[in-house]
Amino acid sequence: MSSIARLQTALADALTLALTPTEVPATLERELQELKKMVAAGGGGQPARDRMQEALFNFRRSWCFQGPAEARLACFGSAIRFTDREPPLIEDRSGFPRLLNAVDDYSNAPRPFRRCYKGLLHVYFLYDGENTRIPEGRSNWEDLRDYLYRRQPAIHVDGPQPDWVDAIDNNRNLLTDDPATKYAERLLEDDSNEIDRLRANLEIQQGTWLMRKLVLAQVTFACNEPDMTFRGRVKVLLDLVKKDEILANQCLALILDRYARLTDRPQNSLLLDCAISQWGNPAFQRNTPKWSWASDAARAMIGSWATLDLIRRFFEVLSEDRKTDQRRVEFWQRYHEQIDRMYFALGTSAMRSRDPDVGKLRREMGDHLLSLKHAGSPANNAFMMVMGDLVAVEFGVKGNACYLYREDNLPFFLQGIVTGETLRSDDRIARLLHKDTNAGTWEEKFASRLSKSGFRSGLPTTGRRSSRTQRP
């Protein structure tokens, strides 16, 4: 190969090497990515705790800042309780307004002011101003919200803006008393992309007040939708209720009240289970305070559903062979809207049973649960239905009659322990057998006897409504 050929080859190799991309070391690549994040965030995240504490200590001594760096530190730390001797600055009646006034001195210098603004924005999302029991904290938090809204235009500088500035520019609703409605419909459709970006850009943590507002906004939005659309969202809404203990009562009340207003409202087992789990059976007096969250219509609806459910489960879960006496279930379910209260007397087997279904039923019976003794089989149980001034006693084991009493002449108390003998007392006004005859079915015979006391299948009672729970 000639000298010229070797030179040409060497030059070609050198050119190829020069044009080949150089691999960036992994450590350098990580640093570059962190630097990009810092630039996008506009200067990094929350400062060190000791530096914020020192800045606030200095501010509380002089009520002024020694420069924008100290102002930024004080803003970020104004919701933190650093010692037991004094509250966070945001709960200081006069101290926090002084902080805002001092920060406002930088409003004509966009870059320093923007750093302070970011610290105040962090505090705004961090501090639970709506649920705090500290009046000063709530008042200062509301003032902070108004301040952030008014001063938001002052955080702009020439050139590209950090991601968090763009985020607050496009979502000023976050700085109003309705921060979450804007996102409700998309969240209900399982689209959380917008919220995920907001949380990342504004560093909003899970469990903050805004996340609760988003839950409430979805429930409120759904409750204002047409009947069929709302009915289709009930499962999703109940899942939201279960995720937030603080809002559970308020959200459940909204859902129940809306369902009670439906033109067509079939029984919803998920809604029933959630309501009973949260507040108990509305027919039980001890649960009355919890049910104050809901409307009368919602209480009546769930009470009616619960009565139907308890009648079915009494004959199903508590029967010895788990085979439901369907005729008795269907008969008494026709009178469920006329049953004021129900009490349950469980025999030895049901009281001692470790079956999960039986245990759940016992818990739901609450203070309407009685103990049944000397009723024949230990698997026997009884339930008493109070209908106006009439009390009907049914037993679980087949072959037992149904007994009717007047509530003002009961031979037993509707509490504690009852016996098979007293439940079958001669003080009854009727003893009805579950036997068909040539004259008709037992259901027809029962219905005829109940009608004499003013109770007709599927109709509102004409009998006296009683509030008595036991014989004097």
Burial 208-225 (b: 16+ CB within 10 A, else e): ebbbbbbbbbbbbbbbee
Instruction: Please identify which residue in the block is written with the tokens 């001195």.
Output: 105
Q: 228: exposed, middle or buried (C-beta count within 10 Å: 0-12, 13-18, 19+)?
A: exposed
pLDDT of 165? 96
Question: What are the residues facing 390 on neighbouring strands?
Answer: 387, 406
| Distance between CA atoms of residues 53 and 35, nearest Å | 27
Under-50 pLDDT residues of the chain: 28, 31-43, 321, 459-472
Question: What are the residues facing 391 on neighbouring strands?
Answer: 386, 405
Q: Which residues are CB-contacts of 424 (< 8 A; sequence separation ≥ 6)?
A: 401, 403
pLDDT of 376? 86
Of 304, 309, 311, 310, whose CA–CA distance to 260 is shortest?
A: 304
Query: 172: which 2 tokens?
Result: 């000023």
Query: 303: which 2 tokens?
Result: 């009470």
Instruction: Please identify which residue in the block is written with the tokens 């006004």.
Output: 429
Instruction: Please identify which residue in the block is written with the tokens 């079958």.
Output: 424
**Cα angle 140-143-145, degrees, rounded to a multiple of 5:** 115
Number of H helices, E strands in the chain: 20, 7
Question: What are the residues facing 381 on neighbouring strands?
Answer: 346
Strand order in the sheet with 381-387: 417-419, 369-373, 341-346, 381-387, 390-395, 402-406, 430-432
pLDDT of 44? 54
pLDDT of 462? 39
Torsion of CA 28, 31, 32, 37, to 10 degrees: 170
